[in-house]
Amino acid sequence: MGLQLRLYLLLGLMFGILYAVILAISSVIGAGGFAIYAVIAVGFMLLQYLIGPSFVSRIMRVKYVSEKEQPRLHRMVAELASDAGIRKPRVCISELAIPNAFAFGRTQSDARVCVTRGMRHNEPAGDRRIESCSGA
């Protein structure tokens, strides 16, 4: 099954769960109909879509870095992006001590790759982990 199809199925499932929660709450308080529930659910999903990346940035305390600040990390991300045939994402670091690397953003043109301090200070095994997390 294609990645995009799975993404749309997951989005539909999330919409269904959100709709069920809103329906349950509304039936308890005795309000609304299908149109109201659908508008509220779509509103929540739109809000999540719009604020998602900034929410991740704030929670993870992300700092965007230039190639001068983190040349090795930029080079690694550029090589992985080139191998995958996609545009190089923005590169950022998080000062959290948890060893983690992740990608986030709304679209490929808005993509960002973040590596935590815990992962960067775990060299040389950290490089392999960064590649596996960022290149997957």
Tens digits of residue pLDDT in 74-122? 998 898 888 888 899 999 999 888 888 888 988 888 899 999 888 877 6
| Residue 2 clears pLDDT 50, i.e. is over it | yes
Per the structure block, which two tokens stand in for 96?
């959290």
Local confidence band at 3 (pLDDT 50, 70, 90 cut-offs) = confident
Q: Please give the Cα distance from 16 to 22 (Å, whole number).
A: 10
Record the pTM: 0.66
The better pLDDT of the pair 30, 47 is held by 47
Whether the CB-CB separation of 65 and 94 falls below 8 Å is answered with no
| Residue 10 clears pLDDT 60, i.e. is over it | yes
| Spans of all domains in the chain | 3-51, 62-135
Whether the CB-CB separation of 118 and 98 falls below 8 Å is answered with yes
Cis ω for the linkage preceding 71 (within 30 of 0) = no
DSSP H helices, the chain, are 3-29, 34-59, 71-84, 117-120, 125-135
Q: Is 122 helix (H, G, I), strand (E, B) or coil?
A: coil
Q: May I ask the CATH architecture of the domain 62-135?
A: 2-Layer Sandwich (3.30)
| Residue 136 clears pLDDT 60, i.e. is over it | no
> Which tens digits make up the pLDDT trace of 39-80?
777 888 888 888 989 888 998 889 999 999 989 889 988 988
Q: What pLDDT, on a 0 to 100 scale, did the predictor assign at position 89? A: 92
| Residue 132 clears pLDDT 70, i.e. is over it | no
Query: How many alpha carbons fall within 13 Å on the CB side of residue 69?
Result: 7
